[in-house]
Amino acid sequence: MSLLSVQELQTHFIYRDIDYQFREAKALNKVTLSLNAGEVLGIVGETGAGKSLTAQSICGLLRPPAQIVGGSVMFDGKELLSLSEDEINAIRGADIAMVVQNPRSSLDPLTQIGKQLVRVHQTHSGGTILESRQKALDMMRAVGIPDPLGRFNAWPHELSGGMAQRVLIAMALMNEPKLLIADEPTTGLDVTVQAQILDLLEDLVNQFDMACMIITHDLGIVAHYCDQVAVMFAGEIVEQGPTKRVFQTPAHPYTQQLLAATPERLQMGIRSQLGGQPPDLFNLPTGCLSQDRCPKSTKKCETPPPMIDVSSGHLARCHFAESDNKAGSKGGD
């Protein structure tokens, strides 16, 4: 059984606009994915595709007007969506830990970093302060912070971006999580630092045998660090599978466009590179969500495309997936 199993997750933004009419944006549309210990899953997509939202939905960190309207999230045998706020709060930071963008502004500016590490350990694991302190120092060493004892009393604003991100990672590891979610962990950092941080993450995942979910818009990162990849568009996963397979033989037109349009390491933050309007989440078409911008779209695309098994573990949500791959692929693996 998978450590994490998300089934048909639906998250919508529901609010009233200035005319007092209900407006509903379908931000996540039946997202399904799963993850096992020791695996690294990369979630890619353009801005607004729903990547961060998926992570937030899993952890119960949604803010109004966002709310989960359907689906299930099974983690370690528990249904997260049916837990109370207190229960899921106990899981956050302990079994499931998050590392986010903007490390410098995410740390509490009024508490020294050592104390913050101790605080998160005390909240979930208890024990004496001395034990927590020792653990904090160990973690700081593990993430490569030089002179941990000296830095223990440093203030967040004294740290560089890369250093702060290491602190965040240390914080995430304090309670030995089973799942680590990294939401754009290197965006905004220097290029050299990015590689260091990602290598560090890779090491730690192997060391602690964690499951890891990396959310990014950078295909290069996924290619180098992730075993599995899930491509998102308009709140849907349009293709997923082993990274090598998906990148070498993409089955979904969207993925194909992505890989063809940009060399591996080019970032795709700008929507217009791929042509077409961003999907209107308030008025999604019936059938395939990409039909308006897909070069292969036909009448058939007005019916919802099934998730087609292109090969073992490699899935694509497109009517034409099978036929494309039949041409070039070999048998299973």
Binding residues for another protein, per CB under 8 A? 14-21, 59, 61, 63-65, 89-94, 97-98, 100, 102, 105-111, 119-120, 123-124, 155, 157, 168, 171
In the block, tokens 């009419």 appear at 21
Tell me how far apart the alpha carbons of residues 68 and 62 are, in angstroms, rounded to a whole number: 8
Nearer to another protein, 108 or 333 (CB): 108
Nearer to another protein, 155 or 292 (CB): 155
Nearer to another protein, 158 or 333 (CB): 158
Other beta carbons within 10 Å of 247: 17
Nearer to another protein, 179 or 229 (CB): 179
Query: What residues are paired with 43 via a beta bridge?
Result: 215, 230
Tell me how far apart the alpha carbons of residues 18 and 41 are, in angstroms, rounded to a whole number: 40
Q: Residue 141 Cβ, how far from another protein at the closest point, in Å?
A: 20
Nearer to another protein, 178 or 245 (CB): 178
DSSP SS3 for 251? coil
The token pair at 275 is 């042509």
Give every CB contact of residue 32 below 8 A, 6+ residues apart in sequence. 6, 7, 8, 9, 237, 307
Nearer to another protein, 24 or 227 (CB): 24
DSSP SS3 for 75? strand
The token pair at 268 is 């795709």
Q: Residue 102 Cβ, how far from another protein at the closest point, in Å?
A: 5
Q: Residue 298 Cβ, how far from another protein at the closest point, in Å?
A: 29
DSSP SS3 for 14? strand
Give DSSP secondary structure letters for 141-199. HHTT-SSHHHHTT--GGGS-HHHHHHHHHHHHHTT--SEEEEESTTTTS-HHHHHHHHH
Tell me how far apart the alpha carbons of residues 64 and 51 are, in angstroms, rounded to a whole number: 18
Q: Residue 203 Cβ, how far from another protein at the closest point, in Å?
A: 22
Q: Residue 158 Cβ, how far from another protein at the closest point, in Å?
A: 9
Are 107 and 156 in contact by the 8 Å Cβ rule? The answer is: yes
Nearer to another protein, 1 or 18 (CB): 18
- For the stretch 189-219, what's the b/e string if a residue is b when 16 or more beta carbons lie within 10 angstroms of its beta carbon? beeebbebbbebbbebbeebebbbbbbbbbb
Q: Residue 113 Cβ, how far from another protein at the closest point, in Å?
A: 11
Q: Residue 252 Cβ, how far from another protein at the closest point, in Å?
A: 31
Q: Residue 296 Cβ, how far from another protein at the closest point, in Å?
A: 30
Nearer to another protein, 80 or 288 (CB): 80
Nearer to another protein, 14 or 266 (CB): 14
Q: Residue 167 Cβ, how far from another protein at the closest point, in Å?
A: 11
Closest CA to 230 of 218, 243, 220, 221: 243
Tell me how far apart the alpha carbons of residues 161 and 58 are, in angstroms, rounded to a whole number: 27
Tell me how far apart the alpha carbons of residues 1 and 143 are, in angstroms, rounded to a whole number: 30
